[in-house]
Chain A
Amino acid sequence: MIKAVPKPLEEILDQVKDFTKVLIAGCDGCVTVCEAGGLKEVKVLASALRLYFTQAGKQAQIDETSLTRQCEKEYLAQLSDKMDIYDAVVSLACGCGVQYMAEMYNNKIIYPGVDTCFLGVNEERGLYVERCQACGRCILAETGGICPIARCSKRMLNGPCGGSDKGKCEINKDIPCGWELIYERLKTLGQLDRFEKPVDPKDWSTSRDGGPRTIVREDLRI
């Protein structure tokens, strides 16, 4: 799932301090799971903003809501009849939700309330780790189910590099070397022959560049 962290409160305060009517809009999707953007976080942020405005002697209306998903127009549309009253919205959705909100409510100032970080897993509550970089062409079948693009610091397709030390990455001894993990897993699976076969340069055209990547599924479109 998409992982995010709440933005520093002072950053948000600085953005909304001159407004009097602010909506805090959460998203009940991914960011709720990592406790950065669901209704709970909306309430905490709204309370903090109310305390801030009140102690500053300023009347402000801070409203709270959370949508099922901010990456879908149908849910964003639920705000349409009350959007007019707000000076600004702080969206606690991932970057997709913030942008889609801004796109839908073109004349409204929309601030991001979280920093969107990566696609990851919940190793424990409060401990989220990246697993996928959405490169658009999955190679997990060849690498023992462990992604070198996400888990090697140099996203090597023919690792490990010479910097790994006792199974840990050269950049931080708390990060397991992705390629050591791949090697061990291939060994377990009896597929070590894969390890010695050079992997050709990757086609990165499905990844990160060339404008927004688009999926068209004609079989699904109405």
Chain B
Amino acid sequence: MRLQYPPNVRIIEVPCTGKVDVMHLLMAFEYGADGVIVVGCLEGDCHYSAGNLYAKKRVNRVKEILDKVGVGGERLAMYNLSSGMGGRFAEIVREITEKIMELGPSPIRVATGKATGPIAEVTT
């Protein structure tokens, strides 16, 4: 489809978003990610029945933690897409990158002096 999306995004593939753990998300921020999105299958379409629903709950829990520790829950989001929605995926990545750009570098990178340009991480 030759869809374009920003190059500062790193994609980490997992078999199912049900595999994404609270710790994976927290570690991404500890390592300096400016933003993370978790992209799962459409709700009701999980091959493992509820993996994306578990992921949603974990994402919400981590958002809460990020708010409380001063990193900001708005740097983490979850989306549900089907494999046929490549166009929408590219659009979301563009949108989220813009949003993270507006938010600026993560307070973690600012504090550790590693802030150069934004890094966004995508888990699919």
A residues in contact (CB < 8 Å) with B: 9-10, 13, 40, 43-44, 47-52, 54-57
Contacts and interface: CB of A to CB of B under 8 A. Distances in A.
Interface in B71-124: 71, 107-108, 110-112
B112 A51 contact: no
B2 interface: no
Nearest to A10: B68
Contact of A47 (B27, B70, B111): B27
Interface string B6-23: 000000000000000011
Interface residues of B, number: 17
A40 B22 CA distance: 10
B22 to A, nearest CB: 6
Contact of A54 (B27, B68, B108): B108
Contact of B26 (A10, A51, A57): A51
A56 B26 contact: no
B42 interface: no
Contacts of A47: 23, 26-27, 30
Q: Majority SS of interface residues in chain A?
A: helix
B23 to A, nearest CB: 6
A50 B30 contact: yes
A38 B72 CA distance: 26
Nearest first, the 10 closest Cβ-Cβ pairs linking A and B are: A55-B107, A52-B69, A47-B26, A51-B69, A55-B70, A9-B68, A57-B111, A48-B65, A54-B108, A54-B111
B23 A44 contact: yes
Contact of A43 (B23, B71, B110, B111): B23
Interface string B23-45: 10011011000000000000000
A48 B69 contact: yes
Contacts of B23: 40, 43-44, 47
A52 B27 contact: no
Given A9-B65, A56-B111, A57-B111, A51 B22 contact: no
